[in-house]
Structure 1
Amino acid sequence: MKEYKRYLVTAALPYANGPLHIGHLAGAYLSSDVYVRFLRLYGKDVAFICGSDEHGAAITIKALKENKSPQDIVNKYHELFKSTFEKIGVSFDYYDRTTAPHHHETSQEFFRTLYNKGEFIEKESEQYYDASAKQFLADRYIKGTCPKCSHDAAYGDQCENCGSALSPTELINPVSTLTGNKPELKKTSHWFLPLDKYEGWLKEWINTGEVGGEKLHYPEDWKKHVLGQCKSWIENGLLPRSMTRDLNWGVDVPKDIPGSEGKKLYVWLDAPIGYISATKKWAELNNKDWKPYWQSDDTALIHFIGKDNIVFHCIIFPAILKAHGEYTLPMNIPANQFMNLEGDKISTSRNWAVWVHEYLEEFAGQEDELRYSMIKNMPELKDSEFTWKSFQDANNNELVNNLANFINRVVVLTNKYYDGVIPEFDEDQDIIGCDDEDELAYHDGEILRLFDNVDELCACLRSYDFRGGLSALMEISSQGNQIMQFNEPWKTIKVNPESVKVVINLLNQYLAVISIVMRPFLPFTSDKLRGLLNLDPLKEEGELLDLCNALAEG
């Protein structure tokens, strides 16, 4: 496996036409946050990038319905997103927005480069037009029946029921979302990206991880459903895809290109370029060079997304990057599947969702409880289910009875017997119940067992198994509880006080290590635990590399 000098981790840009729900958290944002915090704790050079996706027809539709400007709509949700992410502890290095001037500039530069290289096909096509509204209809202005699954409310670019990417003309019985009328087909001219031209290298890249003999990723490390969806797309044959739209909201096609008047960039060209423009801005603010993060073979580019965005991040965006010629292709795209709610699909239109900002208002101070439940039920390989009953059970039976109980018992006994000071002990001190001479160094043996479990936790996180990593964390806490129960220091203190020093020292070392390895999952609890141990909050600067010195005696 290749060692990378740096990591660029992106999380899917949330679309600024509605608030975040728990499906979003479980899909892209907690998985990416856990992974990035883990990388930082390992001392890796990492940039964690995201931002609000603020263009596209769905935003103009919402603006029309609410009698507001598109800018008013995106301003509202951009601020809500930033606040929500901050409160739930998603630790982006930079959170940007696609209405920012620097993003428009970067997107236009990208488009101009592809245009000048001759990568686009300019052709006339028929596009749906609403005669009553007197405008061409972008994908999201059209609804109809999905030809794949027969869902009767599919959009012109995608069916949200089955996840299929569509073109407007594939819809059965299409109607305009502006007027409800049946649209007519009218000729217009646009620039298309010839995906069929890139089919050969895309197939090689996805199936083998190589392009032209150069190893760029390891397919065995990709999730099966991601590879499966990619292979299905390619096997069905790729078609040219329009990169521009007739819209009045979005990034302008550069004015110096003939025929650009009234044309905007397709949102799935504009939006992923947002990762690049955000990285540029982050680098500028931190006096760094952005190019190594996007244009170096020593960088691992990793996109965290939901499964509805697989085709865009695994086929369309890589094709755009390769066509440009100067950019790194993704090393992995660990897309999660969907989270359902109480036996039904989450639906924003039916208001069937747990809105994250509302949870944070109603359950102030319980951020980690939600993070724990989301990670425990993360839809990593298949759709998962959130219920309030499972949330309550996880909180009471695991966080409280296991983790919090262990922390409390150790802190109480340390305060009771040693006035809150970590006791020094005789390293050769025998432990009651340990008769084998090999077990005389009980403290060291248990520390080694602890580190073995930390290694298991880290191995899970390296392979994007965040549920497994969380389970390993709770196993460490369970083992601490078992050590407590086996040694019963509240009894042993009366007959062998020296051995209790060994146990209490050991259990405090457990707490110190837990305060570090829990950080990716439960950052707020990590801060609280380190406060109890009189330790500074973690800076996430390689602390996993120095676990042996997590807590000093005295």
Structure 2
Amino acid sequence: MKKKVPSKKIITSALPYVNNQPHLGNIIGCVLSADMYARFCRKNNEDVVFLSGTDEYGTAIEMAAFAQNKTPLQICEENRIIHKKIYDWFNIDFDFFGHTTSTAHTKNVQDFFNKIHNNGFFTEQEIEQFFCDKCQIFLADRYVVGTCKFCKYTDAKGDQCDGCGHTYKSLDLIDAKCTLCHSFPNIKSTRHLFFDFNNFKDKLQKLFNTNSQYWSENGKQITKSWLDQELLPRCMTRDLKNRWGVPVPLKDFEEKVFYVWFDAVIGYFTFYKEYVAARSESKELDKNNVFATDNILQDCELVQFMGKDNVFFHTIVFPSLIFATNDSYPLIKKLSVTEFLLFENEKFSKSRGHGIFGLDLVDNTMGQSCLWRYYLAKIRPEKCDSNFSFTHFTNVIDADLNNNIGNFCNRVLKYIKNKNDKLISIDKLEHRDDLMVQTIDKIYKEYLTSFSAIRIREALEKILEISKVGNEYVQQVVSSKIEVPKGFQVAFSIVVLIGQLLEPFIPVSSEKLLKMCNRKKENFCESFYIIKSAEIGDDIKPLFNKLDDSLIERIKNFKK
């Protein structure tokens, strides 16, 4: 078999914000999608580091702390544990999972800032900002709510409207109020640091022209819409009530912190450095040396997963900051952007108790994680918003996992165990076998192509196609009554292939199936082939279980 040349990939999931627990849309939107792709790349013999971590600074954390009468750090530490518990239940296989309140991150962000500042790309500017006399604080974006000037949405936040997606200055809001005391704020002057993105528009356009061929269509369109207009300077510092952010290391700005999106995107590089430092055993790469150099980031391919509301920060803000350092940090190569996942045709809402959130699942009362990984991949909102439906969920699990994949695999393995003493011994293939191999090989290569292009739903459908071909082949063998034992032995190779292909999607079920086949997890080969000699395991049982009535009722009657 021809070996593929490994390439070093840093795969990132947009940092989940730690002010609350993630819902199903958050999970498939970046973390689970990135995990599936990372598993695929590892299995494709690629050198992969899969990184993420909790985004822990900013006003939303301060507001949550205020509402719960806790400190921001308490909120972060409590919710960080919840996030990790949920991701562990979903079998998210991070190589490193960090958090932005770490000392390492503070140092890395400040070093990043110093490079940009020394290169002259920050300017000081006095601006007018909302000031609440009652609370005696300048109001950062999230401490302001009002009516969006673009779409007239009446609950628009201070920096971005959830109604239409526009970003703006908080002073642009109509009838703005302080979110802490609900009074109308005054306007006062304060001094801040600004970064002019228009300085890098040509470089951003070149990056777009070069790499957007590897981006999902929605990511392309969102980025293009920004590049088609003037990129205005943006304020990169904040006056926060608790100074809850990375401190600005500059004289006369000691009381200010960085805008959360300035520090969050740099977090990917922090986490990679922490990952390398944690695994370094040589004096040349001890922890201090790792954080003193950026050389370890060279020659890495950056692949990023996110929801569509985060595209601007990853394709405009992040690359611009990298350009401003004049260093050779990796720029975004591949971009996978999801649309929104609805829950029974409405938006998820923690306050209204609408939707399934991570902690609702971790006790397994609504099924094992493999069911949820599979279904979320099935409905991944790749090109448009998609909808979670309880009825569709139960139908998909029965149709795809039980009736298609499960029945085929169980039928083949049970036959080989009971009729052939667990043995596979094939001397030569029949004409019917050659035709089947050609068909399976074509679909298998389409699976590889789809997954490489991060068309995850399409890749999943290819497994179902392979299982369907396998079912048809077995039925043809049984109907012909010719060389039936041999036909089932040939079909064993399809079962093994399915076990390997399922691994990025449902790794626990994949491992279970391969164990019954008495096969080890293997990297992808270039072509589908027939296993001529093997012996399967003793314990053959259904790969999936039918959803019992009580489980279906619990799922359909789920209420927050």
**TM-score of the superposition, structure 1-length normalised?**
0.89
By how many angstroms is 1:548 displaced?
Answer: 4.3
In the alignment, the residues of structure 2 paired with residue 12 and residue 553 of structure 1 have an alpha-carbon distance, to the nearest angstrom, of 43
Specify whether residues 186 and 48 from structure 1 end up closer, same or farther in structure 2 by C-alpha distance, changes over 3 A only: same
The aligned residue for residue 172 of structure 2 is 170
Shift of 1:97: 0.5
Q: Give the structure 2 partner of residue 522 of structure 1.
A: 506
1:485 to 449, 472, 475: 475
What residue identity is the alignment partner of 1:54? E
Partner of 1:315: 316
Q: Is the 8 A contact 1:41 1:544 kept in 2?
A: no
1:391-421 C-alpha deviation (Å, 9 max, x unpaired): 01101111111011111111211111023x2
Q: Is the 8 A contact 1:423 1:501 kept in 2?
A: no
Select between 347-356 and 464-473 the one with higher mean Cα deviation: 347-356
Deviations 1:106-156 (A, max 9, x none): 111111111111110111111111110001111111111112222111111
The 1:449/1:342 distance shift into structure 2, 3 A limit, reads same
SS in 1 for 2:361: helix
Does 2:264 match 1:275?
Answer: no
Q: Counterpart of 2:252 in structure 1: which amino acid?
A: G
Q: Distance in 2 between matches of 1:418 and 1:472?
A: 30
Q: CA deviation at 1:486?
A: 1.1
Where in structure 2 are the equivalents of 1:344-423 lying within 5 Å? 344-363=346-365, 366-419=368-421, 421-423=422-424
How far, CA to CA, are the matches of 2:260 and 2:530 in structure 1? Answer: 50
Return the alpha-carbon distance in structure 2 between the equivalents of residues 123 and 184 of structure 1: 19
Q: Which residue identity is paired with 2:379?
A: N
Q: Matches of 2:93 and 2:532 in 1, distance apart?
A: 26
Q: Is the 8 A contact 1:517 1:544 kept in 2?
A: no
SS of aligned partner of 2:275: helix
User: SS where residue 349 of structure 2 aligns?
Assistant: coil
Aligned mates of 2:304, 2:345 — CA distance in 1: 29
Preserved CA contact (<8 Å) 2:214 2:333 = no
1:250 to 241, 244, 256: 244
Partner of 1:535: 519
The amino acid across from 1:62 in the alignment is: A
How far 1:235 sits from its partner (Å)? 2.4
Q: Separation in 2 of the partners of 1:252 and 1:413?
A: 63
Alignment correspondent of 2:23: 21
- In the aligned structure 2, how far is the partner of 1:382 from the partner of 1:509? 36
Given that 1:194 and 1:240 are in contact with CA atoms closer than 8 Å, whether structure 2 keeps it comes out as yes
- Structure 1 residue 224, shift from structure 2 partner: 2.5
Report 1:153-164 matches (<5 A): 153-164=155-166
Q: CA deviation at 1:230?
A: 1.6
SS of structure 2 residue aligned to 1:54: coil
2:426–2:533 CA contact under 8 A, matched in 1 = no
User: 1:294 and 1:190, CA in 2 relative to 1: closer, same or farther beyond 3 A?
Assistant: farther
The worse-fitting range, judged by mean Cα deviation, of 352-361 and 171-180 is 352-361
1:50-69 maps to which residues of 2 (within 5 A)?
50-69=52-71
Map 1:70-469 → 2, pairs under 5 A: 70-206=72-208, 208-209=209-210, 217=211, 219-247=212-240, 248-255=242-249, 257-287=250-280, 295-296=297-298, 298-326=299-327, 327-363=329-365, 366-419=368-421, 421-427=422-428, 430=430, 439=431, 442-469=432-459
Partners of 1:422 and 1:508 within 8 A in 2: no
Q: Distance in 2 between matches of 1:285 and 1:549?
A: 42
Matched residues in 2 for 1:169 and 1:513: separation?
Answer: 58
* Contact persistence 2:6–2:46 (CA under 8 A): no
Per the TM alignment, residue 449 of structure 1 is displaced from its structure 2 partner at its CA by 2.6
Do the aligned residues in 2 keep the contact of 1:310 with 1:335 (CA within 8 Å)? yes
Deviation at 1:267, TM superposition (A): 0.3
Specify the alignment match of 1:500 in structure 2: 484
Q: Which whole-Å CA distance do the structure 1 matches of 2:295 and 2:304 have between them?
A: 13
Deviation at 1:92, TM superposition (A): 1.0
The amino acid across from 2:277 in the alignment is E
Between the aligned partners of 1:48 and 1:464, the Cα distance in structure 2 is: 15
Q: Return the letter of the residue paired with 1:88.
A: F
Contact 2:58/2:245 (CA < 8 Å) preserved in 1? no
CA distance in 2, matches of 1:547, 1:229: 39
Task: Name which of structure 1's ranges 133-142 and 364-373 shifts more when overlaid on structure 2.
Answer: 364-373
Give per-residue Cα distances to partners, 1:344-399, cap 9 Å, x unaligned: 12223322221122123243652111111111111101111111011011011111
Q: How far apart are residue 453 of structure 1 and its match?
A: 1.3
TM-score between both structures, scaled by the size of structure 2:
0.89
Q: Do the aligned partners of residues 482 and 137 (structure 1) sit closer, same or farther apart at CA in structure 2, a change above 3 Å counting?
A: same
Q: In the alignment, what sits opposite 1:553?
A: 534
Q: Is the 8 A contact 1:426 1:502 kept in 2?
A: no
Residue in 2 that maps onto 1:435: none
Q: Percent identity?
A: 31
The alignment yields a C-alpha RMSD, in angstroms, of 2.1
Residue aligned with 1:488, SS: helix
Contact 1:425 1:501 in 2 (8 A): no
Worse overlay, 315-324 or 3-12: 3-12
Note the alpha carbon deviations across 1:413-438, whole angstroms, 9 max, x for none: 1111023x23213315x5xxxxxxxx
Give the letter aligned to residue 230 of structure 1: T
Output the CA distance in 2 between the equivalents of 1:124 and 1:249: 19
Q: Which amino acid aligns with 1:300?
A: E
SS at match of 1:526: helix
Task: Work out whether residues 243 and 256 of structure 2, in 8 Å CA contact, stay in contact via their aligned partners in 1.
Answer: no
**CA 1:550 to 1:110, structure 2 compared with 1: closer, same or farther past 3 Å?**
farther
CA separation of 1:93 and 1:15: change in aligned 2, threshold 3 A? same
Change (3 A) 1:261 1:221: closer
- Alignment-mate amino acid for residue 417 of structure 1: K
Distance 1:181 1:171 in 2: 15
Task: Check whether the contact 2:416–2:423 (CA below 8 A) recurs between aligned residues.
Answer: yes
| Contact 1:6/1:293 (<8 A) preserved | no
Query: How far does residue 480 in structure 1 lie from its aligned partner after superposition?
Result: 1.0
Give how far 1:221 is off: 3.2
Q: Structure 1 pair 535/293, CA: closer, same or farther in 2 (3 Å)?
A: farther
Hey, what's the Cα distance between the residues in 2 that align with 1:552 and 1:94? 40
Q: Structure 2 vs 1, CA of residues 182 and 13 (structure 1 numbering), >3 Å: closer, same or farther?
A: same
What is the distance in 1 between the residues matched to 2:304 and 2:424?
A: 46
**Structure 1 stretch displaced more, 468-477 or 326-335:** 326-335
Contact 1:21 1:356 (8 Å CA) reproduced: yes
Letter in 2 for 1:454: Y
Q: 1:551/1:39 Cα in 2 relative to 1: closer, same or farther (>3 Å)?
A: farther
CA contact (8 A) 1:293 1:299 kept: no
What is the distance in 1 between the residues matched to 2:404 and 2:204?
Answer: 48
* Structure 2 unmatched runs, 5+: 536-560
In structure 1, what is the Cα distance between the partners aligned to 2:271 and 2:297? 15
Q: Which SS does the other structure have where 1:390 is aligned?
A: helix
Shift of 1:300: 1.7
Secondary structure of the residue aligned to 1:241 is strand
Contact 2:246 2:263 in 1 (8 A): no
Instruction: Give the equivalent residue in structure 2 for 1:433.
Output: none
One-letter amino acid of the counterpart of residue 478, structure 1: K
1:465 Cα offset (Å): 0.8
